[in-house]
């Protein structure tokens, strides 16, 4: 497992070491001990979530805040997504910055999104199955968010605007300037 830094403080790309032969392949998807040694971050996860979405679906930008904040380890199990992390920690040197990466089953990359970050993704393939490992349990009353098309953040979702499909909830999230995080 290789850990690569992103331009955002404490946000990491995890690239597996893949062993391939005529039978197929094997890789260690995650190793808590190695992750903690390489990053100094807690890598203990308590909840796994899976979502399936169609082309154009955009989920985000979401986070859990306060004592229910969550770090996430995300990957794409089927299809192709553009995954985005946004640093919403006001005391961070990368506050208000975002990073995006294409996640696919072929590249087998994972993105570690630390506590205090917003997260979202857009589906670039016909369908996608997306996996989220979380280090804290979901708590509805601790939700925070930023609208997907916030002009301060100016996130590129890699989709034409007319193709974007949003949930009713995601259509009316607050702006970055409203600090709902």
Annotated catalytic residues are 62, 132
Residue corresponding to tokens 């497992």: 1
Dist. CA 14–CA 1, nearest whole Å:
7
DSSP code of 152?
Answer: T
β-sheet bridge partners, residue 127: 54
User: Which strand (E) or helix (H) includes residue 58?
Assistant: strand 58-64
DSSP code of 39?
Answer: H
Dist. CA 164–CA 122, nearest whole Å:
8
Residue corresponding to tokens 């961070």: 92
24 sits in the region (left: phi over 0; alpha: psi -120 to 50; else beta) called left
């Amino acid at each position: 497992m290789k850990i690569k830094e992103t331009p955002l403080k404490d946000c990491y790309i995890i690239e597996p070491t893949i062993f391939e032969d005529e039978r197929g392949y094997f890789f260690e998807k995650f190793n808590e001990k190695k992750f903690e040694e390489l990053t100094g971050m807690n890598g203990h996860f308590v909840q796994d979530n899976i979502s399936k979405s169609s082309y154009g679906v955009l989920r985000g930008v979401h986070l859990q805040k306060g004592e229910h904040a969550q770090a996430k380890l995300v990957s794409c199990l089927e299809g192709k997504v553009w995954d985005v992390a946004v640093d919403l920690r006001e005391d961070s040197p990368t506050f208000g910055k975002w990073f995006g990466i294409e996640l696919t089953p072929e590249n087998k990359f994972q993105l570690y999104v630390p506590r205090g970050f917003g997260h979202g993704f857009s589906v670039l393939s016909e369908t996608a199955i997306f996996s989220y490992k979380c280090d804290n349990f979901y708590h509805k009353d601790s939700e925070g968010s930023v609208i997907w098309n916030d002009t301060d953040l100016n996130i590129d979702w890699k989709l034409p605007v007319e193709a974007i499909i949003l949930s009713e909830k995601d259509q009316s999230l607050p702006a970055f300037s409203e600090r709902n995080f």
